[in-house]
Structure 1
Amino acid sequence: MSTWNGEHVLVTGGASFIGSHLVEDLVTAGANVRVADDFSSGEPGNLAAVEDEIETVSGNLKHWDFADEATEDIDTVFHLAADHGGRGYISKYPANCATNMALDNIVYETAAKNGVDRICFASSACTYPTDIQQERQRLHEDMVSFEERGGAYADEVYGWAKLMGERSLQAYHEQYDIDTSVVRIFTAYGPRENETHAIVAFMAKAYARQDPFQIWGDGEQTRNFTYVKDITRALRLAAENITDGTPVNAGISRYVTMNEAVDIIFDYMDWVPEEINYMTDKPQGVRHRAADTTRAEKLLSWEPEYTVEEGIRNTLDWYVENRDREYVKENLETLLHER
């Protein structure tokens, strides 16, 4: 019998890219799912496949009364709601990202008040120190410490807010004995993601036949692009198996350069630009990022099931089917920079 069968589950930010995939998985597993979202970046259409099988409440989780309503009669909370976007967004809107600290604590406080059994927090690879990501070394969870002086050095305000979200959640575990888990998500991509993130941004530019084709940086910076279904499986397994807030990475261990990702997209679309414009003045984030997944393998029996090539093909199929080429061409700049 499924762990989730008959479980009353709240997914905050459930209309988002990752959230909507998680909601579908939970419905399939037999859960009674409530989605709380303010639809600032999430879209009702993301939930179209399960809209008749879930409850949706719309509002701002930074407002205590709404968070209280959303967490009422809930067994498990998956907390994904956040103000965030791609690298351009988090560089440009640090104050927006800082509000996540208030949002997280209000969700935790109301969940504790309403007797929620467990909370799983969607954290980020942005919690890791930036200075250790200039060379290729896989990030493991112990590279962040709340116990050692100088043990934290997160990536921009967004990363600090995620780190504080982790620490606050551990405090709720300590004080209220709520089961808690934390998943540090690494560079997720997949169907329903918007164009402010690298993979879908590249797809939009290729689909619009942008030439010269623009790549932020020199194209040799790496990320461990992780397919969304691998991420949502890690979230479910963390909620099932971890109770004390121990963080686990959900990412692939392969370093993928931006140039490699773009080549996969060009190959699949059977199109290559005549010129590539490397924009070294744009925000690029850290130089290299990939996950050490030893802890996830040990605690969750989790490892990624999708290769980058498979994931990009799946995402491109979705993108081409759901986006009109002329619309993307005309609105490319807006799509690339808005949440």
Structure 2
Amino acid sequence: MSVSGDSVLVTGGASFIGSHLVEELVDRGADVRVADDFSSGELDNLAAVEDEIQVFDGNLKHYDFASKATEDIDRVFHLAADHGGRGYISNYPANCATNMALDNIVFETAVKNDVEKITFASSACTYPTDIQQERRRLREDMVSFDERGGAYADEAYGWAKLMGERSLQAFHEQYGVDASSVRIFTAYGPRENETHAIVALIAKAFAKQDPYQIWGDGEQTRNFTYVEDIVNALVLANEKITDGTPVNAGIPDYISINEVADAIFDSLDWHPDEINHMTEKPVGVRHRAADTTRAEELLGWEPQYTLAEGMKKTIDWYVDNHDEAHVRENLETLLHER
């Protein structure tokens, strides 16, 4: 089923992933509306399509605004959330917990306004943390709502995302709305802010931080997934999944923070004299990578971008759009606030 000609709402559409999704939907012929409170999203992110979309500025935790945003909409992509990188979700758990209220208000108003399809941007943080100390690719069935002890999410942010999935399934069960959830694994790319790992590492190198700071010992791994691959998974899930079944959007590779930092140094042709591994900082789970079998089977999806390709696009964007002196002067604030 094509989105062409449909009215589509993207909550959080001025954000990093949201703005890329908006551009893709416009390109596919959808009539796109964005709802965002601009707490972390930026109107500039939508510059390429600003004349082709509607933008609603407001807080989706307010019922009246959410009802207005979901009125006369065929499909909802729900990306709005209070979130950030590891430092943010560790330091602001109450902020992240408010996502549970946000999600349910969006789902309820969407159903009352007869929205046909809802796709929820979930997270790899829904997975049990105790199974991520070893290199074990995460499968969707490693989270269960039916078995005792079947859930053990990653901090308040992960629990909120997991409850968002369960709430959306409940709305599907009770009201019949088509539903899908995409568990996003460590997305990166242009327009991401410095609270997230790859852009944080780029910012530190761009500002020539020396000693260069890496949180933890740097051997913790993630499966960094380029934003255009994430967008493709979201669109396919909206088109092909109706019953709330969650799917992973990630890569199966384990990439260490130290490896990423070295690649950034080489790309910028700058290397620090000293690296300070800050083992007291929050780093989350030890290893994280995705099993993408379900996404391949249900969506025909697999990632198209290698890390080298995605990193080049991201570094080029950062260098072209940031002032070195400004980043250096404001680095600590950029790394810790949305």
Give the Cα separation in 1 of the matches to 2:159 and 2:336: 22
Give the C-alpha shift of residue 284 in structure 1. 0.4
RMSD over aligned Cα, in angstroms? 0.5
TM-score (norm 2): 1.00
| Amino acid across the alignment from 1:250 | A
* Residue 261 (structure 1) aligns with: 260
Give the C-alpha shift of residue 4 in structure 1. 1.3
Counterparts in 2 of 1:289-304, with a 5 A limit? 289-304=288-303
* Residue 329 (structure 1) aligns with: 328
* Residue 221 (structure 1) aligns with: 220
Give the Cα separation in 1 of the matches to 2:118 and 2:224: 26
Counterparts in 2 of 1:312-323, with a 5 A limit? 312-323=311-322
2:125 partner SS: helix
2:72 partner SS: coil
Deviations 1:14-61 (A, max 9, x none): 000000000000000000000000000000000000000000000000
1:136 equivalent in alignment to 2:135? yes
Structure 1, unaligned runs of 5 or more: none
* Residue 150 (structure 2) aligns with: 151
* Residue 160 (structure 1) aligns with: 159
* Residue 32 (structure 1) aligns with: 31
* Residue 211 (structure 1) aligns with: 210
1:185 equivalent in alignment to 2:184? yes
Aligned-pair identity in percent equals 77
Give the Cα separation in 2 of the matches to 1:161 and 1:240: 25
Give the C-alpha shift of residue 157 in structure 1. 0.3
2:61 partner SS: coil
* Residue 286 (structure 1) aligns with: 285
| Amino acid across the alignment from 1:178 | V
Give the Cα separation in 1 of the matches to 2:225 and 2:140: 17
1:218 partner SS: coil
* Residue 119 (structure 2) aligns with: 120
* Residue 64 (structure 2) aligns with: 65
| Amino acid across the alignment from 1:136 | R
1:20 partner SS: helix
* Residue 52 (structure 2) aligns with: 53
Give the C-alpha shift of residue 248 in structure 1. 0.1
Give the Cα separation in 1 of the matches to 2:163 and 2:182: 14
| Amino acid across the alignment from 1:39 | F
Give the Cα separation in 1 of the matches to 2:246 and 2:45: 28
Give the C-alpha shift of residue 121 in structure 1. 0.1
Give the Cα separation in 2 of the matches to 1:95 and 1:270: 40
| Amino acid across the alignment from 1:191 | P
1:35 partner SS: strand
Give the Cα separation in 2 of the matches to 1:87 and 1:337: 9
Give the Cα separation in 1 of the matches to 2:286 and 2:219: 8
2:110 partner SS: helix
Deviations 1:223-265 (A, max 9, x none): 0000000000000000000000000000000000001111111
* Residue 76 (structure 1) aligns with: 75
Deviations 1:62-115 (A, max 9, x none): 000000000000000000000000000000011100100000000000000000
Give the Cα separation in 1 of the matches to 2:299 and 2:320: 35
| Amino acid across the alignment from 1:171 | A
1:235 equivalent in alignment to 2:225? no
Give the Cα separation in 1 of the matches to 2:274 and 2:108: 53
TM-score (norm 1): 0.99
Give the C-alpha shift of residue 287 in structure 1. 0.2
2:334 partner SS: helix
Structure 2, unaligned runs of 5 or more: none
Give the Cα separation in 1 of the matches to 2:19 and 2:255: 26
Give the C-alpha shift of residue 211 in structure 1. 0.6
* Residue 175 (structure 1) aligns with: 174
| Amino acid across the alignment from 1:180 | A
Give the Cα separation in 1 of the matches to 2:335 and 2:4: 39
Give the Cα separation in 1 of the matches to 2:75 and 2:178: 9
